[in-house]
Amino acid sequence: MAETYQVIVVGGGSSGLMAAINAAQQGASVLILEKNRILGKKLLLSGGGRCNVTNRTSQEELIKHIPGNGKFLYSALSQFDQEDIVNFFADHNVQLKEEDHGRMFPITDRSATIRDALLDICLELGVTIQTKEPVESLLIDRAANKIQGVHCKSGHDYYCKSLILACGGRAYPGTGATGDGYAWAKAAGHSISRLYPTEAPLYSKDDIIQEGSLKGVALREVTVTLWDLNHKAICQHTMDMLFTHFGYSGPAILRTSGHINQFLHETGADTANMTIDLQPELNQDQLRDQAEGQRDKQVLTIIKAWMPQALARVLLSKIPLNPSLAYKQLSHQEVNSLFQLVKAFPISAYKTDPIEKGFVTGGGVKTSEIQPDSMASKLLDGLYFCGEFMDINGYTGGYNISAAFITGTIAGRHAAWAAYEY
Ligand SMILES: Cc1cc2nc3c(=O)[nH]c(=O)nc-3n(C[C@H](O)[C@H](O)[C@H](O)COP(=O)(O)OP(=O)(O)OC[C@H]3O[C@@H](n4cnc5c(N)ncnc54)[C@H](O)[C@@H]3O)c2cc1C
């Protein structure tokens, strides 16, 4: 006989585990169908194995750090927010600690602590977990415009009142997030907005990258600005960055990457232009004052205080300036060029790593077709969404797992409540 549950969750990752817990807490019978042998494979990898669970910030800031449809979360956040995530784990004896930029990690520094806690709560609540059971398609009652259940590759059919799709995006497919669900969402009548990589390193043909002399050089707290074709700033991030053998990486760059993909796609431009402010804390006049106080010193010695030596040499070669010249020997124009480069060192990129290597998927099920207060489909009764499967993407810093936990919580609760009404 076919198995029937009040709520079925497809995907036992970050959002699916949270959805299952919340549905079960409402008293619903819940089944998780997961294609992997284990649950939460991506969660285990997250934060370099430490899991950056959430970010201790305001709701406004959280939304700002979710450039992919963060505003869609307003209604969800009024029901369960980042502070509730911290309290949820504390209530289950998992303590979190705060690091730089508000990032929250388990005090054990092990992502397994988070994954295991979620799994244990599921088991305590009586959630049925079926691993190695890839879902193949949805079962839909077209006449009633209502979800019926799912059909699995094994040949099994499972029936439910409410179905939650928590099957993730397309980044890091080795974790199980291979994008299977997009075809099902389309079959249910939903639209999928263009998929693209976000939080991905950049590739560049800049001379400084081709020459390779800056490979491995890291910059601390610099401001990276991405410019549009009218030289208007698209985005600006003050964080660390890194020169690699193929281009640029590090937090400030990863945050810019999704915007670059959008810019290249929308404009058809070959490259995206950025600038690095190497001393964002000081304006040009303050930098000049510092240099004027050391007029007899070599220009290289002066600017080495503002950036790594390898970059200082490259910067001077761009003007071009002999590094051993004393500052007082520079012409007015050379001084201007020098400070302009310190405040706006130009770099460019022509592509990012592909979606499979990006940390997070941009695009997904269109949020305009999803109820923001319940994560229910606006198009098919009984269907719910959560996590990266939706067109929601955040910056690194705990914003994606936050979005997964928040939408998972809302989808789980509402799917369970609706299941009692049918
Ligand atoms: C290396 C890495 C590190 C990261 N670190 C962080 C971090 O520290 N903090 C942060 O906020 N974000 C981080 N992220 C992003 C974050 O992990 C994800 O955005 C989040 O886990 C998405 O949750 P999800 O539930 O939507 O998808 P997932 O966690 O990917 O879960 C989807 C699940 O669905 C299953 N599934 C897919 N298709 C099927 C099918 N046909 N049948 C059955 N099951 C299926 C998959 O196997 C998978 O288990 C990181 C991402 C990566 C790749």
Q: How far is the CA of 217 from the centre of ligand 1 (A)?
A: 31
Q: How far is the CA of 14 from the centre of ligand 1 (A)?
A: 6
Taking CA atoms, 225 is separated from 32, 111, 272, 381, in Å, by 43, 33, 11, 44
The pLDDT, as a whole number, for residue 259 is: 97
Mean pLDDT of 302-314: 97
Q: Write down all domains in the chain, each with its CATH number in brackets.
A: 3-196+358-421 (3.50.50.60), 202-352 (1.10.8.100)
Instruction: Say if CB 407 and CB 76 are below 8 A apart.
Output: yes
Instruction: Say if CB 24 and CB 127 are below 8 A apart.
Output: yes
Answer yes or no: is the C-beta of 158 below 6 A from any ligand 1 atom.
Answer: no
247-249 and 233-243 strand pairing? antiparallel
Instruction: Say if CB 374 and CB 185 are below 8 A apart.
Output: no
Locate the ligand 1 atom nearest the alpha carbon of residue 36 and give its number.
47
Confidence of residue 205 (pLDDT cuts 50, 70, 90): very high
Higher-confidence residue of 48 and 422: namely 48
Beta bridge partner(s), residue 383: 163
The pLDDT, as a whole number, for residue 421 is: 80
Mutate to test the pocket of ligand 1, among 163, 355, 401 (most ligand atoms within 8 A of CB): 401
Q: Say yes or no to pLDDT of 29 above 80.
A: yes
Instruction: Say if CB 380 and CB 188 are below 8 A apart.
Output: yes
Instruction: Say if CB 248 and CB 241 are below 8 A apart.
Output: yes
Phi and psi dihedrals of 42, rounded to 5? -70, -35
Torsion 157-160-163-168 (CA) sign: negative
- Name the 3-class secondary structure at 407: helix
Locate the ligand 1 atom nearest the alpha carbon of residue 172 and give its number.
53
Q: Say yes or no to pLDDT of 253 above 90.
A: yes
Locate the ligand 1 atom nearest the alpha carbon of residue 50 and give its number.
8
Answer yes or no: is the C-beta of 389 below 6 A from any ligand 1 atom.
Answer: yes
Locate the ligand 1 atom nearest the alpha carbon of residue 40 and give its number.
49
Token representation of residue 305: 């205080």
Q: Say yes or no to pLDDT of 305 above 60.
A: yes
In total, the chain counts a number of residues equal to 422
Residue with CA closest to ligand 1 atom 50: 46
Query: Residue 248: how many CB atoms within 10 A of its CB?
Result: 28
Q: How far is the CA of 42 from the centre of ligand 1 (A)?
A: 5
Residue with CA closest to ligand 1 atom 27: 168
The pLDDT, as a whole number, for residue 309 is: 97
Q: How far is the CA of 16 from the centre of ligand 1 (A)?
A: 9
Torsion 218-222-225-231 (CA) sign: negative
Phi and psi dihedrals of 157, rounded to 5? -110, 140
CA dist 55 and 62 (Å) reads: 8
Q: Say yes or no to pLDDT of 1 above 90.
A: no
Mean pLDDT of 245-252: 97
Q: How far is the CA of 277 from the centre of ligand 1 (A)?
A: 34
358-401: pLDDT as tens digits? 999 999 999 999 999 999 999 999 999 999 999 999 999 999 99
Mean pLDDT of 249-266: 97
Beta bridge partner(s), residue 157: 151
Query: Residue 242: how many CB atoms within 10 A of its CB?
Result: 19
- Name the 3-class secondary structure at 358: coil
The pLDDT, as a whole number, for residue 377 is: 98
Contacts of 111 (CB under 8 A, 6+ apart): 43, 44, 45, 46, 47, 49, 50, 51
- Which of 114, 81, 112 is CA-nearest to residue 95? 114
Residue with CA closest to ligand 1 atom 23: 14
Q: How far is the CA of 389 from the centre of ligand 1 (A)?
A: 9
Answer yes or no: is the C-beta of 19 below 6 A from any ligand 1 atom.
Answer: no
Answer yes or no: is the C-beta of 32 below 6 A from any ligand 1 atom.
Answer: no
Q: Say yes or no to pLDDT of 422 above 80.
A: no
Mutate to test the pocket of ligand 1, among 9, 42, 170 (most ligand atoms within 8 A of CB): 42
Contacts of 9 (CB under 8 A, 6+ apart): 16, 19, 20, 23, 30, 31, 32, 33, 164, 166, 412
Q: Helix, strand, coil: what percent of the chain each, to 5?
A: 40, 25, 35
Higher-confidence residue of 421 and 187: namely 187
Answer yes or no: is the C-beta of 401 below 6 A from any ligand 1 atom.
Answer: yes
Token representation of residue 419: 């299941």
CA dist 8 and 11 (Å) reads: 10
261-279: pLDDT as tens digits? 999 999 999 999 999 999 9
With pLDDT > 70 as the criterion, what percentage of the chain qualifies? 100
Locate the ligand 1 atom nearest the alpha carbon of residue 388 and give its number.
26
The pLDDT, as a whole number, for residue 409 is: 98
CA dist 66 and 148 (Å) reads: 33
Q: How far is the CA of 261 from the centre of ligand 1 (A)?
A: 21
CA angle 16, 30, 157 (to 5 degrees): 95
Distance from chain centroid for Cα 134: 25
Mean pLDDT of 44-53: 97
Mean pLDDT of 286-313: 96
Answer yes or no: is the C-beta of 115 below 6 A from any ligand 1 atom.
Answer: no
Q: How far is the CA of 197 from the centre of ligand 1 (A)?
A: 14
Residue with CA closest to ligand 1 atom 45: 11
End-to-end Cα, the chain, rounded Å: 21
Q: Say yes or no to pLDDT of 281 above 90.
A: yes
Helices (H), 26-64: 41-49, 59-64
The pLDDT, as a whole number, for residue 2 is: 74
Give me Rg for the CA atoms of the chain: 25
Query: Residue 215: how many CB atoms within 10 A of its CB?
Result: 14
Q: How far is the CA of 20 from the centre of ligand 1 (A)?
A: 15
